[in-house]
């Protein structure tokens, strides 16, 4: 029970940290997508990322926030989804961050966070030219378990 509570707290903390990858109000967004389009694009980007990883894994939505408030104190919101990457025993989870980092940098996306070398929490996040953002996180827990997440978000809409 205590480990489950700790896992929920850690997931919430990761979500808050990921929000800094979500909506940057210091630069006005040029996005003119609809709410529905933003929700669809957030989901599509996560699926696109999954397709770059070795086969055998799947995504499970762990957080779906269709209307998170932007930091600009206006009425704009952004979409953010967090997905657990579920993988079978023996799946090469250690390849997830370098694989996606290589794919995203090869596409020329703007790097927002590069913490690939952190042995406990490896992260890599990018921004697409359309201001949508995505990141991957691989968490090495003290009990030996390794969890992997994708966090996909829209610009303020």
Distance between CA atoms of residues 141 and 147, nearest Å? 8
pTM reported for the whole predicted model: 0.81
The pLDDT value recorded for residue 74 is 83
Residue owning tokens 């990921």: 18
Residue written as token pair 């397709």: 51
CA atoms within 13 A on the CB side of 48: 15
Residue 30 is predicted with a pLDDT of 55
Residue recorded with tokens 């006005």: 28
| Residues paired with residue 80 on neighbouring β-strands, in sequence order | 65, 153
Query: Tokens 């707290």 correspond to what residue?
Result: 9
Q: What is the pLDDT of residue 8?
A: 45
> Residue 104: its pLDDT value, please?
99
Predicted local distance difference test score (pLDDT) of residue 29: 52
φ/ψ (deg, to 5) at 122: -85, 130
Let me know: does 50 contact 57? Beta carbons within 8 Å.
Answer: yes
**Intervals of the chain under pLDDT 70:** 1-31
What is the per-residue pLDDT for 25? 44
Q: For position 32, what pLDDT does the model report?
A: 86
- Please give the radius of gyration of the chain, using alpha carbons only, rounded to the nearest integer: 15
Write down the pLDDT at residue 10: 47
- pLDDT value at residue 72: 83
């Amino acid at each position: 029970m205590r480990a489950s509570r700790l896992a929920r707290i850690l997931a919430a903390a990761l979500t808050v940290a990921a929000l800094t990858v979500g909506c940057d109000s210091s630069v006005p967004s040029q996005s003119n997508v609809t709410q529905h389009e933003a929700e669809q694009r957030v989901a599509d980007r996560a699926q696109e990322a999954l397709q770059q990883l070795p086969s055998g894994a799947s995504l499970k939505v762990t957080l779906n926030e269709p209307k998170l408030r932007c930091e600009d104190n206006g009425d704009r919101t952004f979409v953010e989804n967090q997905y657990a990457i579920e993988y079978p025993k023996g799946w090469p989870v250690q390849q997830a961050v370098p694989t996606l980092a290589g794919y995203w940098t090869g596409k020329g996306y703007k790097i927002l966070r590069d913490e690939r070398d952190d042995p406990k929490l490896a992260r890599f996040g990018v921004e697409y030219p359309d201001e949508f953002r995505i990141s991957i996180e691989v968490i090495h827990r003290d009990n030996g378990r390794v969890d992997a997440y994708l966090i996909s978000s829209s610009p303020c809409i």
